[in-house]
Amino acid sequence: MVRRVLELDFDEIRAWFEARELKIPDRSLFPKVGFIVEGVAAGFIYFTDSPVAIIDCYISNPLSDSKYRSEAITGITEALIVCAKFHKCKRIKCDSTLGSIKRRALDHGFKSTGTYESFIMEI
């Protein structure tokens, strides 16, 4: 069942990053709003100072069944879209280099804007 991420979920989310040998982001870098299927996957949404939202920070439990992961990520994505609509966003943005995520975005009605390179600066 998809539900909002609670503070107590971050131990599990950190464990998924660790199990995937990914750098564990500092808790303060996660958006305030996210959705989770316990034991399976989570995703988050950043709200901007314009009617644009960014969905990001997807992570899943590599030990969970791949079918459940796919179903969970679909449900989480749908919840994030509903959340953006509730907040009156007019556009949702997402980025990925992974083919499976690109296909999922297209399946949910996202349009490709072409290939861009993202940049980040730690300050």
Tokens of 37: 């299927």
Residues pairing with 8 in the sheet: none
78 domain-assigned: yes
Tokens of 33: 């709003």
Domain that holds residue 45: 2-107
Q: What confidence tens digit (pLDDT) does each residue in 59-111 have?
A: 999 999 999 999 999 999 999 999 999 999 999 999 888 777 888 889 999 99
Establish if 24 belongs to a structural domain: yes
Residue 61 has a pLDDT of 97
DSSP state of 50: S
Q: Structurally, how many domains does the chain consist of?
A: 1
Q: Is residue 6 part of a domain?
A: yes
- CATH number for the domain harbouring residue 53: 3.40.630.30
- The answer to the question of residue 118 being in a domain is no
**Is 114 a member of any domain?**
no
CA 91 to chain centre: 16
Q: Is residue 10 part of a domain?
A: yes
Let me know how many helices (H) and strands (E) the chain has, helices first.
Answer: 3, 5
Residues near 69 by beta carbon (within 8 Å), at least 6 away in sequence: 40, 41, 60, 61
